[in-house]
């Protein structure tokens, strides 16, 4: 018998063999029936200009298959990107759960992860303001386990019966199908203004969390409270967190909007390119554990999906890591056809009575039946478990198994197989709990506080994050045509934080609210992007750094910058006015990576301007270059300047920013690192530049003149 550790590898190999056995590049062109075709450029017709003949079975098959290529896209989470990888626990979690994949650090469980946006269709852009899906399929030895999460730990509604209403409201307006991939429109905010339970989630959605820098720097959350169950049948409430090793980083709204035009595939391209380059994204799986005896110890209900457990109250414990190390071979076959389901659990993981989770446990299976053409979607390779499948389910659309023997239970003619395991401790068994009560349509009183945690989120933000939230509300509500919707939304915000509501009201032309008492919870530093626990490992790995060059550039400075940053794992690209090469200060040919007209500042994490008087003179004369550096500065990104390159940065005229002068050596001020010393890039400059890039953003810098 194969060991648990070897099964995933064997399953992967079988999938690859099946794939390559039907590889269309592996032989002559054939029809779907295997008939070799001699010609596929012209239809069969009568003479050179005559009508097409109905007997041309190759043409009819080809065009019919083309006409039926599209399957229904997901109603939500339609636009996605996926990757394969593995998960390994740090230690045994047997104290809390008997789930086999959480026991042995030497056993790697294969995974497939799909990241996605919620509102837009498959053709929408990556960098819209939206919730992001973070769904993980674990191919465990006990069956598939799906952790179907988002990049935000809460949701818009408390009960799944409201899900169709919310989705209809956030989708494009029904009369004109506008806007695509955006929430800034009347119907969404009409719904929000009438549903106070949305307030906490709207704070997250208006924050920078809604525009992640990359899927590699994005948190994931299971949203709901689940249960761990150990071998003794004892339950523990659990909240799941994915924490990226590179830290949690986001775009700013100005960047996000421009990036949609520059590269609408920005996030999916980043994921694909980094995995292909060997920069494998890594995440820690962390859990918040609450004994069942403490279920009612909080000032909110654990079953309420619009609430979090602050990490200051219950720390998030790391229990394992996930590494994504392989791109899919075919987007449709894998990323598009992967089917997740919150009810795909394994022994040791169980549900709670969260009404939103209960609804999802019905909805996901129902969705796959319509999208993937019937009940046999689990036979699609990306959905196929590595654990053996033995049951009496038969037939249906797209049945790929050839079954024999009996198809009912109990039976004697088939030797009683497949047989249920009865009291086998390895079998899945629902946690037994007493449930009774009257049949009612009524929400628990413990779900009624809709404002305290919304206030908690806002009060936990750094000052620059609060301003971004205010700006986001102003932008979104500024797109709303109905003044009564604007006014109602401000009224809701007034219950969260008076200063926030007043600032938003002033920006959208409605009367500021009357001062009233609002919640004053203790801030949670873990919620802020500026918080220590969101900074990652402090490295500069995979940061994209642009170096601006032209004829006459100081090649020694460029080489020194490139060597140090690339040694730290950053990706350095030299940008010139054209592809190919430039001449350095000594007249030698110097290769460049990209042409400036094909990229933009928003696609990079930092910018460096090396010296070389003639190079800098040419760069300064170009408005595109000045905008490139100005945008990086405005967006809080690190800026480096060497020698005469300091003069280009000085053109920005930042008020109060200190730049290096003659003999100053290296100067670092608000993430701008400069050095006018002659010669190559010095050790002090390179050290300060590396530190500035590692810090990612520098929001406290003085403004530039426009």
Q: 110: part of which helix (H) or strand (E)?
A: strand 109-117
Model pTM score: 0.93
In this structure, are residues 90 and 283 in contact, taking their beta carbons and an 8 Å threshold? no
Least confident of 7-16, 286-295, 418-427, 615-624: 7-16
Q: Which residue has the tokens 């069956």?
A: 143
Q: Which residues, including other chains, have CB under 8 Å from residue 503's CB and lie 6 or more apart?
A: 470
Among 196, 151, 194, 192, which residue's Cα sits nearest to residue 452? Answer: 196
pLDDT of res. 5: 41
Q: In what order do the strands lie in the sheet with 639-642?
A: 594-595, 571-576, 544-548, 606-609, 639-642, 672-675, 667-669
Record the tokens describing residue 684, joined without a space. 């002090």
Which segments of the chain belong to CATH 2.40.180.10?
80-383
Q: How confident is the model at residue 8 (pLDDT cuts 50, 70, 90)?
A: very low
Sign of CA dihedral 60, 331, 119, 183: negative
Between CA 162 and CA 169 the distance in angstroms is 11
In this structure, are residues 259 and 266 in contact, taking their beta carbons and an 8 Å threshold? yes
Residue 191 confidence (pLDDT) above 50:
yes
Q: Find the mean pLDDT for residues 220-241.
A: 97
Between CA 383 and CA 114 the distance in angstroms is 12
Q: Is 68 a catalytic residue?
A: no
Which residues does residue 46 pair with via DSSP β-bridges, in sequence order?
Answer: none
What count of Cα atoms within 13 Å lies in the side-chain half-sphere of residue 198? 22
pLDDT of res. 663: 73
Between CA 56 and CA 362 the distance in angstroms is 46
In this structure, are residues 489 and 185 in contact, taking their beta carbons and an 8 Å threshold? no
Q: Would you give the DSSP letter of residue 193?
A: H
| The CATH fold of domain 456-530 | Hemocyanin, N-terminal domain (1.20.1370)
More confident residue, 57 or 20: 57
Report the CATH architecture of 80-383: Beta Barrel (2.40)
Which segments of the chain belong to CATH 3.40.50.880?
540-694
Q: Rg of the Cα trace of the chain?
A: 29
What count of Cα atoms within 13 Å lies in the side-chain half-sphere of residue 415? 4
Q: How confident is the model at residue 532 (pLDDT cuts 50, 70, 90)?
A: confident
Residue 330 confidence (pLDDT) above 90:
yes
Q: Is 635 a catalytic residue?
A: no
Which segments of the chain belong to CATH 1.20.1370.20?
456-530
Our separate counts of H helices and E strands in the chain read 17, 19
Among 166, 208, 206, which residue's Cα sits nearest to residue 188? Answer: 166
Record the tokens describing residue 611, joined without a space. 């010296």
Q: Find the mean pLDDT for residues 626-637.
A: 96
pLDDT of res. 505: 98
In this structure, are residues 156 and 189 in contact, taking their beta carbons and an 8 Å threshold? no
Q: Would you give the DSSP letter of residue 36?
A: B
Q: How confident is the model at residue 4 (pLDDT cuts 50, 70, 90)?
A: very low
More confident residue, 186 or 516: 186
Of 77, 249, 590, 670, the active-site residue reads: 77
What is the CATH number assigned to the segment(s) 540-694? 3.40.50.880
> Per-residue pLDDT tens for 561-610?
999 999 999 999 999 999 999 999 999 999 999 999 999 999 999 999 99
pLDDT of res. 429: 82
Within 10 angstroms of residue 451's Cβ, the number of other Cβ atoms is 20
Residue 658 confidence (pLDDT) above 70:
yes
pLDDT of res. 192: 98
Helix pair 613-620, 623-634: axis angle to 10 deg: 90
Alpha helices in 263-394 (DSSP H): 266-276, 355-371
Alpha helices in 22-68 (DSSP H): 57-67
Of 144, 150, 344, 376, the active-site residue reads: 150
More confident residue, 26 or 646: 646
> Per-residue pLDDT tens for 359-397?
999 999 999 999 999 999 999 999 999 999 988 888 988
pLDDT of res. 1: 32
What secondary structure does DSSP assign to 270-281, as a single string?
HHHHHHHTT---
Between CA 273 and CA 692 the distance in angstroms is 24
Within 10 angstroms of residue 438's Cβ, the number of other Cβ atoms is 5
């Amino acid at each position: 018998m194969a060991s648990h550790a070897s099964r995933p590898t064997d399953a992967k190999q079988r999938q690859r063999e099946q794939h390559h056995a039907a590889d269309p590049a592996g032989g002559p062109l054939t029809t779907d029936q295997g008939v070799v075709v001699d010609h596929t450029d012209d239809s069969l017709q009568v003479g050179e200009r005559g009508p097409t003949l109905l007997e041309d079975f190759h043409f009819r098959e080809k065009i019919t298959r083309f006409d039926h290529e599209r399957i229904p896209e997901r109603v939500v989470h339609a636009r996605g990107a996926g990757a394969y990888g593995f998960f390994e626990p740090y230690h045994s979690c047997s104290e809390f759960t008997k789930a086999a994949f959480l026991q042995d650090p030497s056993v790697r469980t294969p995974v497939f992860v799909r990241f996605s946006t919620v509102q837009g269709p498959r053709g929408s852009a990556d960098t819209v303001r939206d919730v992001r899906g973070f769904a993980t399929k674990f191919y465990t030895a006990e069956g598939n386990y799906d952790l179907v999460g988002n990049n935000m730990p809460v949701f818009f509604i408390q009960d799944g019966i409201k899900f169709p209403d919310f989705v209809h409201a956030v989708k494009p307006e029904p009369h004109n199908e506008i806007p695509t991939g955006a929430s800034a429109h009347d119907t969404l905010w009409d719904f929000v203004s009438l549903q106070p339970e949305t307030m906490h989630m709207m704070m997250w959605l208006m924050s920078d969390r809604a525009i992640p820098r990359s899927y590699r720097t994005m948190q994931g959350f299971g949203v709901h409270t689940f249960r761990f169950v150990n071998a003794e049948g004892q339950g523990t409430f659990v909240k799941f967190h994915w924490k990226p090793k590179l830290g949690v980083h986001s775009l700013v709204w100005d960047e996000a909007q421009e990036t949609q035009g520059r590269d609408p595939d920005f996030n999916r391209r980043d994921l694909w390119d980094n995995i292909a380059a060997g920069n494998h994204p890594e995440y820690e799986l962390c859990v918040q554990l609450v004994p069942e005896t403490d279920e009612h110890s909080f000032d909110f209900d654990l079953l309420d999906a619009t609430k979090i457990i602050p990490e200051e109250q219950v720390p998030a414990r790391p229990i394992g890591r996930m590494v994504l190390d392989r791109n899919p071979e075919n987007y449709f076959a894998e990323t598009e056809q992967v089917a997740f389901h919150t009810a795909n659990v394994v022994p040791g993981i169980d549900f709670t009575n969260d009404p939103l989770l209960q609804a999802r446990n019905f909805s996901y299976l129902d969705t796959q039946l319509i999208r993937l053409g019937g009940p046999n979607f689990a036979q699609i390779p990306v959905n196929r478990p590595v654990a053996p499948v033995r049951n009496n389910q038969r037939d249906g659309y797209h049945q790929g198994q050839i079954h024999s023997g009996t198809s009912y239970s109990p039976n004697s003619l088939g030797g009683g197989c497949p047989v249920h395991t009865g009291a086998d401790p390895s079998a899945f068994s629902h946690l037994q709990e007493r449930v009774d009560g009257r049949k009612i349509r009524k929400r628990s009183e413990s779900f009624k506080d809709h404002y305290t945690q919304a206030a908690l989120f806002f009060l936990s933000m750094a000052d620059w994050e609060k301003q971004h939230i205010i700006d986001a509300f102003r932008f979104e509500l500024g797109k709303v045509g109905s003044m009564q919707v604007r006014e109602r939304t401000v009224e809701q915000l007034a219950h969260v934080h008076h200063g926030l509501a007043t600032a938003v009201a002033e920006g959208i032309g409605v009367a500021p609210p009357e001062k009233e008492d609002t919640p004053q919870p203790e801030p949670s530093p873990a919620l802020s992007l500026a918080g220590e626990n969101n900074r990652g490992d402090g490295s500069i790995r995979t940061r994209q750094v642009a170096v601006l060059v032209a004829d006459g550039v100081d090649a020694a400075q460029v080489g020194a910058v490139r060597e140090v940053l690339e040694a730290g794992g950053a990706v350095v690209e030299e940008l010139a006015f054209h592809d190919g090469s430039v001449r350095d200060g000594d007249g030698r040919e110097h290769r460049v990576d990209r042409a400036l007209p094909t990229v933009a500042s928003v696609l990079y994490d930092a910018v460096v301007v090396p010296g070389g008087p003639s190079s800098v003179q040419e760069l300064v004369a170009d408005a595109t270059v000045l905008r490139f550096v100005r945008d990086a500065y405005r967006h809080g990104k690190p800026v480096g300047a060497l020698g005469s390159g300091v003069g280009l940065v000085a053109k920005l005229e930042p008020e109060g920013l200190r730049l290096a002068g003659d003999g100053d050596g290296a100067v670092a001020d608000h993430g701008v690192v400069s050095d006018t010393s002659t010669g190559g890039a010095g050790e002090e400059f390179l050290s300060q530049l590396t530190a500035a890039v590692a810090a990612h953003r520098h929001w406290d810098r003085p403004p530039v003149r426009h």
